[in-house]
Amino acid sequence: MKIATAAYPLDWLDSWAQYEDKIATWVADAASQGADLLVFPEYAAMELATLDGAAVAADLERSIHAVSDRMEEVAALHLQLAAEHGVHILGGSAPVNCDLARPVNRAEFYTPAGLRDHQDKQIMTRSERDNWNVLSGGPLKLFETALGKIGVLTCYDSEFPLLGRALRDADIVLVPSCTEALAGYWRVRIGAMARAMESQCVTAMASVVGPAEWSAAVDMNVGMGGIFGPPDSGFPATGVLAEGELNKPGWTMAEVDLADIAHVRADGQVLHRSHWGEQDDRVKSVTISHLG
């Protein structure tokens, strides 16, 4: 299959039709290049707050709820485009009101057969806790699809090995991200690359890029697309299958063969995934050695 990850700029939108045209153009562009799986970044949906005007877009709390209110329309659009182009799409995540006291950070997954499900972010960053007041949502999921087994670790989630381990049966782990500084981008990228090594899988990172001065929530964004695998047999020695250019909007793509993933898991130069359990006895206690 071919995976496409977005370096996605947030735009000021004057109408819903403008948003429809933007997403349709992005999806058509990726599909025309042969992409089968499209990954949009974390909080890419925040541009929808502009449809309610400058005052709402500039107010964090009001923008959160304005975006949440539009997500069913967003889902209908993405399902239509997935079917039209025969692609699977992880849509840009959004704060979504659900049955909890506060919104969750939710990414919807769409198939060309008209099916959809979602993955909620598991661990909130400091700003999501202190400023956004967004909550951890439902459990991690493993999506069994025509393209293989797919998991999602949203941004900060990718930096936690046990979350990655819970998705150890995934062939592909998607990492939608939204980071305001280069250090944040690299934290997520390092996490994505580490998860690819540990689980001997492919990870695909998408980023929001560029300024959005109209927003109190996502006013500055740094990143690029990237697709990573284990630095082992059948994969690049660096583990980098493809990477974009920092802060340059567009798609980053790479061909991925599930047979390569199966091979490296069964007969790689190293077997992190199989040997994971050997850590258990080794970390039960630490011997202190006094050297000074």
pLDDT in tens, 96-116: 999 889 999 999 999 999 999
Q: How far is the CA of 244 from the CAs of 41, 227, 230, 253, 257, in angstroms? A: 14, 9, 19, 9, 20
278 is written with which tokens? Answer: 């050997």
> What pLDDT does 281 receive?
87
Listed in sequence order, the residues at least 6 apart from 51 whose beta carbon sits closer than 8 Å to its beta carbon are 13, 15, 16, 19, 66, 70
pLDDT tens digits, 188-231: 999 999 999 999 999 999 999 999 999 988 999 999 999 999 99
- Spatial contact of 110 and 91, defined as CB atoms under 8 Å apart: yes
pLDDT at position 58: 97
Categorize the per-residue pLDDT at 149 as very low, low, confident or very high, splitting at 50, 70 and 90. Answer: very high
Token reading at 74:
């967003």
In the DSSP assignment, the letter for residue 169 is T
Instruction: Write out pLDDT tens, residues 76-101.
Output: 999 999 999 999 999 999 999 998 89
Alpha-carbon span 77 to 23, nearest angstrom: 9
Instruction: Please give the Cα distance from 75 to 201 (Å, whole number).
Output: 28
Q: What tokens appear for 219 in the block?
A: 């006013």
C-beta of residue 152 within 8 angstroms of C-beta of residue 109: yes
Per-residue pLDDT band for 121 (boundaries 50, 70, 90) equals very high
Is it the case that residue 291 has pLDDT exceeding 90? Answer: yes
Radius of gyration over every alpha carbon of the chain, rounded to an integer in angstroms: 19
Residue 72: its H or E element: helix 71-85
Q: How far apart are CA 55 and CA 58, in angstroms?
A: 5
Mean pLDDT of the chain: 97
Q: Is the pLDDT of residue 186 over 90?
A: yes
Confidence of residue 235 (pLDDT cuts 50, 70, 90): very high
CA 194, CA 117: separation in Å to the nearest integer? 26
Domains delineated in the chain = 2-273 (3.60.110.10)
